[in-house]
Structure 1
Amino acid sequence: MDTATFLHLLHEDLGLTQQSARKHLIHFTSKSEYFACKSELLRMTSELPRLSLVLPLDIIHAFSCTLCPDTKLRSFSSTTRIEADTKFIINKVKSRKTVPKRATILSSSRTRTIPWGVDQIGAPEIWSKSVGQNIHIGVIDTGIDYKHPDLHNSISHGINLLNRRLMPHDDNGHGTHIAGTIAATGRNSGIIGVAPRAIIHPVKAFDHNGSAYVSDIIAGIDWCVQNDLDIINMSFGMKTYNPALEQAVMNAYYRGKVIVASSGNDGRKKTIDYPARFPQVVSVGATTRTGRIAPFSNRGTQIDIYAPGERVYSAWIGGKYHELSGTSMATAHVSGVIALMLSMRTMSPQQIKNALRRCAFPLSKRPNARWQPGQLNARRAIRAAGQE
């Protein structure tokens, strides 16, 4: 492959501002040629400045950039394959502001709220043993509210994949809500998350409308792997299979990263969204306050675990609080419990999945020879972790 000629053609294509131009992925069939081309790309950026618009994705050996549909690069080399990028939107169920339903007094001088889901899964019973300390969680979402008082002590460095010169500030609310359920450390009248000493790394891949390109999700996974995070929370899903996303998930899994994703909010009984459908992912369905599968939740044997997802009260942008429903919220509870587990002992992604599936409370009392996914419980998960 003539790398220099390839990059000159790429630079030329990046300068064409056609209305039909859209984001694409350039895949390299050879790992060595990808890294050779990446090295040359970085060297030639000063000479060809538009090459700075190209985002290398080491985890799948590809470049992400905007190209014209009739780009000359398609016929340039047999060692590259070009595919159009796709965009999707976070699937929300409903949104409703409200006041906390209950507060638990944790000391004589302070009253802090334990949201019903955190309480129902039994997280407070485990805090004397584990609070998720030293566990790093990448939340690929809409960003985070850095000024929220309940999240101030939970946030570490992150990245804004939409504009790398900016902090991953949340302009939507979804990411802040997820982070609050996982690791809020409320003071005074604030809320407490499942793993209040876990460390959140916000990865902003979704814009203010809650939409993202698959390439940005892959870049988020890549960033989490490069920064050696323990857990990757993906509270979103898409209906169609994407091979590039599967490759990114598989490579992260084989690097020892626990990936947790929501099953989707379409009420389907036999199929779930991607990436939750990939076997390397801990797939999560949602339950109600009464411990039943939520009507909106996708369900079936493809799900590994169910967790609270109905009218979940958590942090919101502007230092506020909000109530949301969805398998996204359930996923956050599971990521929190996994942080509690990993804080006590080192476990592989498969060991985590096995322990969660084995320790779940049954959702159905009817005898059934087939295995059925059950409901998350922190105490049983910690016990199962010790048996793996």
Structure 2
Amino acid sequence: GVDGKHPDIAPNFNRELSRNFVTDKPKDEAGETLDGPCEVSSCKDPVDEDDDGHGTHVASTIAAPINGIGIAGVAPGVQIVNIRAGQDSGFFFLKPSLDALTYAGDIGVDVVNMSYYVDPWLFNCTNNKADSRKDQLEQAGIITGMQRALDYARQRGVTLISALGNGSTDLGHPKVDKESPGYPVGEKKDRQVDNSCVNVPAESAGVISVAGLGPSGRKAIYSDYGVEQADVSAPGGDALDGKGAKATRSILGAAPEHVLRAAGRIDAKGEPKGADVVKDCKGGTCAYYQYLDGTSMAAPHATGVAAILISRFGKPGKGGLELAPATVEDLLYKTATPKACPVPREYVYKAYGQDITQVCEGDEADNGFFGHGVVDAWKAATVEP
């Protein structure tokens, strides 16, 4: 969801076009807590509510206005439309995702940010011997169904941007999936996977997938990568990019006050309890911001740059401006700053008490860590047509 009442969201929030395609489920089929108690009698949250904070952070990175409080988004003059597909618990299931994408196509949304993967499978395999036939068919349905919805939206002018993922995994050479199925809770199992298995929507056709960078410009420790999968890269934050760990190396974005209170990140007087939360006040109005990192934070940077390109080069059309997604993609790549693989290509990160080895494949023009390059808002705003 998106907190449409947040002072750094509200000026650009389009409540009329926003839709929630999710009905909260207090408990799962086994009676275990899933979304928790419904906040409204219909169990369908209003379009301007966010019970987690993730979507509000993402939305502010794209389009927080320049209004003297908090932060400014990459494209501070564009509209935010909340098309919600995620449960309060963080699960993104197939049906709401299909509904959200088709709705985006129908109303003429210019660019969609997908900072998630479709549950319950991190990797979707159609013929994995470790899975039952039922599970294989479910995964095939996710691959096919999402591709149809993505195609539907793209054919109607929607540029599709996705987070690449936070598993520190070479998506071109995946080996083990320890996260699936993530639902029902308690069903996870370790299973062998290979490159025939795909993360959806990051590896779906027609989607621009974004790897995350730390503040030094290196590929973030957590970010997935892959020469076939990483299309561009953008700041995602990395608390470990430097000596020790610091929250302020992550990405600062808007946060709903009630979420921070529930998580114990602000005290009874509304003051932050740690460096990961920032309070900013202007003219008697106070707003909260939180440092987070992930490819979920990288994708909206690219989405904001895409919005700048559409604002500059789009032609009047349904609901506003139109620019063919293929053209947006081409301009996004052309305005990105190429970044070569590190030397040596085998890069060793020391984190979480272990050495994590990742290998960058490809050349400066297109490689597994940085894709076609680091997105560049300035170039997007100034490049000649």
Q: TM-score, normalised by structure 2?
A: 0.60
Helix, strand or coil for the counterpart of 2:252? Answer: strand
Shift of the 370–170 alpha-carbon distance from structure 1 to 2, 3 Å rule, reads closer
Q: How does 1:6-155 map to 2 (within 5 A)?
A: 143-155=1-13
Helix, strand or coil for the counterpart of 2:366? Answer: coil
Shift of the 382–215 alpha-carbon distance from structure 1 to 2, 3 Å rule, reads same
Is 1:357 paired with 2:325? no
Shift of the 352–188 alpha-carbon distance from structure 1 to 2, 3 Å rule, reads closer
Match of 1:295 among 212, 217, 221: 221
Match of 1:264 among 150, 156, 165: 165
Structure 2 Cα separation of the partners of residues 332 and 314 of structure 1: 11
Structure 1 Cα separation of the partners of residues 83 and 231 of structure 2: 25
**Which letter maps to 2:6?**
H
Is 1:201 paired with 2:81? yes
2:70 — aligned with what? 190
CA contact (8 A) 1:304 1:356 kept: no
Shift of the 368–174 alpha-carbon distance from structure 1 to 2, 3 Å rule, reads closer
Is 1:281 paired with 2:141? no
2:376 — aligned with what? 377
CA contact (8 A) 2:70 2:289 kept: no
CA contact (8 A) 1:315 1:322 kept: yes
CA contact (8 A) 1:151 1:186 kept: no
User: 1:303, CA displacement in angstroms?
Assistant: 1.3
Structure 2 Cα separation of the partners of residues 144 and 263 of structure 1: 21
User: 1:369, CA displacement in angstroms?
Assistant: 7.8
1:304 — aligned with what? 231
Structure 1 Cα separation of the partners of residues 54 and 364 of structure 2: 39
CA distances 1:268-316 after superposition (whole Å, capped 9, x unpaired): 1243732121231111110010111111111122211000001110001
1:342 — aligned with what? 310
Is 1:160 paired with 2:5? no
Shift of the 278–334 alpha-carbon distance from structure 1 to 2, 3 Å rule, reads same
User: 1:359, CA displacement in angstroms?
Assistant: 2.7
CA contact (8 A) 1:292 1:363 kept: no
When structure 1 is superposed on structure 2, of 154-163 and 271-280 the one drifting more is: 271-280
Gaps of 5+ in 2: 24-41, 125-141, 173-197, 238-249, 258-286, 315-322, 344-361
RMSD: 2.1
Match of 2:299 among 321, 331, 340: 331
Shift of the 226–320 alpha-carbon distance from structure 1 to 2, 3 Å rule, reads same
Helix, strand or coil for the counterpart of 2:149? Answer: helix
Shift of the 213–382 alpha-carbon distance from structure 1 to 2, 3 Å rule, reads same
2:181 — aligned with what? none
**Which letter maps to 1:371?**
D
1:368 — aligned with what? 363
Structure 1 Cα separation of the partners of residues 306 and 171 of structure 2: 26
Gaps of 5+ in 1: 1-142
User: 1:166, CA displacement in angstroms?
Assistant: 4.3
Helix, strand or coil for the counterpart of 1:286? Answer: strand
User: 1:357, CA displacement in angstroms?
Assistant: 2.0
More helix by share: 1
1:178 — aligned with what? 58
Is 1:322 paired with 2:261? no
Structure 2 Cα separation of the partners of residues 369 and 151 of structure 1: 37
CA contact (8 A) 1:261 1:276 kept: yes
Larger radius of gyration, structure 1 or 2?
A: 1
